[in-house]
A and B are shown apart, each in its own frame.
Chain A
Amino acid sequence: MTALALPSQFSARVDVNRSLGGGYVVLEFSGVSGGALGEVVAGQFVMLRGEWGRELLNPRAFSVLWSEPDGRFAVLLKAYGQGTSRLVASPVGARVTVTGPLGRGFRPTDGAVTQLLVAGGVGLPPLHLQARQASARGQAARLELFYGGRDRDDLVLLGDFEAWGVRSVLATEDGSVGARGFVTAPLEQRLVDARAAGEAVEILSCGPTPMLAAVRHIGLRHDVPTWLCLEEEMACGFGVCLGCAVPVHGARPYQYCCSDGPVFEAKQVRWP
């Protein structure tokens, strides 16, 4: 896990608000007055706050989908509560305050280990960025995507993975695309096959907490290095409020999702 660019706070404007169907939206921003995220590690996030007045105070966390040196960047989101609903409705030209890039992301493939990227819902961006960056280094073949959703509309940006040459295993609960059921079933089969073939694999996962809990158990059961990108409710996003505690094993009972994570090793996380 590495963190490169120092975070900064800057103002940005919405350049593009693109619906992907299924309620998913990509928001593209550009930094105002030279503001930029700089280099971002997959799994790092930004805190975004629109012009929300005094009623809705805290910014919201979003994983970075992509970031360019010229200050443009994007996030993928879905309307959930008050903050995300307002952001999804942002017109082009709307202003947001950005703080980032924050947190510690996934480590890149070292080429010797196959990384199994397990994604669900709005947990796709860290894995999408991991694949984009691996592909830019010519290592797309070392990555495989395991992507699960409720139905066809719940799986987005699939074409990107195809273009990068990352193999995808899909699953939907209604069976409309890929295997019927949860994506954890084909994931587990893949681990069994890897073990039989003596292949080194590791798991990188981001998605709804119940999915991460299942992935954690599978990783532990098969003794495969497993990295989870977690979500906790955040106020500041940079280690100040101590609100985003994550229960962990070890000398201290808690670490912080925003500053120690959001990527944690599965065996370190103190979950049932």
Chain B
Amino acid sequence: MTAIPRTTAIDPASVDLRTRLGKLELPHPILAASGCFAYGQQFADFMDLRRLAGLSTKGISPKPRFGNPLPRICETSSGMLNSIGLENVGAEAFLAEKLPFLAELGISVWVNFFGEDFASYVECARLLEAGRGHGIDVLEMNISCPNIKKGGIEFGTVPEVAHRLTRACVEVTDLPIVVKLTPNVADVVAMADAVAQAGAAGVSLINTLTGMAIDVRTRRPRIATMYGGLSGPAIKPVALRMVHQVATALPQLPICGMGGILGGEDALEFIMAGACCVQVGTANFARPDAALVVLDELRARMADLGIGSVSEVVGCIRPLPPEAPRVDPAG
């Protein structure tokens, strides 16, 4: 029999949601995910942004980018494919036009960034360093861009390359760098280890899974670039597995978990797998206040289960006990 923890419901108001990612302290574990929250501003019409622990911006590159041909998105079972093409305003315009709004919010501002080659990654980290003390709290380095120039794929899939890239970016900024890893690898632990050794403050897990959808009437792919990034509940089991693998192998490395979080229970699963905070992505499209729904449900669910604090359940899951040994009277 499995020992199931005692579950005496407690008062939701007494649940301590505080958490930390390395040195970064957060009032609770719920942030909004990159590419699913733009630069935050549009959401102000629908919700109190100050209730979020933080948000990750659309990926920023040194120069503005215009993005991919259309169609760029299509819905699939329990998820969606996207190939936006990392369209963004560029580092300079971000610092001048978008950051002041975010700085005012008083929440943790993570700037997701990438480069088109090695040098432009470093360039971007250097440019964004100017935002330290002016609103930027974390640089989230996206090394999992499926749709940038040749060679780009290596940043996210070859541990030595990721190591060198992370080291080079860490050297040009005093901001903590959280490296966002791609699930499109055979050994995610090797990638996490490589960037941790290079000075990453943590890892974000996971970016989208490469996928495809076909319109059988037209015999064409449903997004223009043929393959795109799959997100939403469809990828949650993969994301949980990766968070757990990294948390188990590298217990000192802080993890921000994401992939298909729609409700409080999803967030709690990620926390139990080993994430100290989580991001809500695709769910923001279903309803703009999705991240706050996750937050409210997380508190309620923890209270239900008698869990008094986030810190006591980060990475708490244990394997099932072994089966009883078999006795064969005939043998």
Contact = CB atoms under 8 A, between A and B. Distances in A.
Given A7-B45, A8-B46, A232 B70 contact: yes
Interface string B270-294: 0000000000001111111100000
B78 A54 contact: yes
A75 B148 CA distance: 41
A55 B77 contact: yes
Contacts of A54: 78, 233, 262
B46 A241 contact: no
B67 interface: yes
A99 interface: yes
Given A9-B287, A240-B37, A57 B46 contact: no
A235 B232 contact: no
A109 interface: no
Given A99-B46, A240-B285, A55 B78 contact: yes
B179 interface: no
Nearest to A55: B78
Given A57-B233, A235-B82, A241-B73, 20 more contacts: A7-B45, A8-B46, A9-B289, A49-B287, A56-B75, A57-B78, A57-B80, A59-B286, A97-B286, A99-B287, A235-B285, A236-B288, A240-B38, A240-B285, A241-B285, A242-B67, A243-B73, A245-B67, A245-B69, A254-B67
24 contacts: A9-B287, A9-B288, A57-B283, A57-B285, A97-B286, A97-B287, A99-B46, A99-B287, A232-B71, A233-B71, A233-B75, A235-B73, A236-B284, A240-B38, A240-B284, A240-B285, A241-B35, A242-B58, A243-B73, A245-B68, A245-B72, A247-B69, A252-B66, A254-B70
Assign chain B's interface to a size class: 35 or more
Nearest to A11: B287
Contacts of A243: 71-73, 82, 84
B117 interface: no
Contacts of A237: 285
A239 interface: yes
B46 A7 contact: yes
A244 B87 CA distance: 13
B285 to A, nearest CB: 4
B42 interface: yes
B262 A238 contact: no
B42 A239 contact: yes
Given A8-B46, A58-B75, A241-B36, A247 B285 contact: no
Nearest to B288: A9
Interface in B28-83: 35-38, 42-43, 45-47, 58, 66-75, 77-80, 82
A11 to B, nearest CB: 10
Interface in A31-58: 49, 54-58
A7 B72 CA distance: 25
B160 to A, nearest CB: 33
B78 A254 contact: no
A57 B286 contact: yes
Contact of A59 (B72, B82, B285): B285
B71 to A, nearest CB: 6
B42 A240 contact: yes
Contacts of B36: 240-241
Nearest to B222: A233
Contacts of A245: 67-70, 72
A241 B232 CA distance: 14
Interface of A: 6-9, 49, 54-59, 97, 99, 232-233, 235-247, 252-254
Interface in B248-270: 262
A192 to B, nearest CB: 34
Contacts of B78: 54-55, 57
A242 B72 CA distance: 8
A57 B45 contact: no
B82 to A, nearest CB: 6
Given A9-B46, A247-B70, A57 B289 contact: no
A238 B47 CA distance: 14
Residue from B38, B79, B232 whose CB has the most chain A CB atoms within 10 Å = B38
A212 to B, nearest CB: 15
A57 B282 contact: yes
Contacts of B80: 57-58, 235
B196 to A, nearest CB: 31
B265 to A, nearest CB: 11
B306 to A, nearest CB: 26
B85 to A, nearest CB: 8
B315 to A, nearest CB: 25
Sort A-B residue pairs by CB-CB distance and give the 8 closest, nearest first: A243-B73, A235-B285, A236-B285, A240-B38, A9-B46, A54-B233, A245-B70, A242-B84
A8 B45 contact: yes
Given A240-B36, A240-B37, A243-B82, A58 B285 contact: yes
A238 B285 CA distance: 9
A27 to B, nearest CB: 19
A153 B300 CA distance: 51
A103 B285 CA distance: 16
Nearest to B88: A242
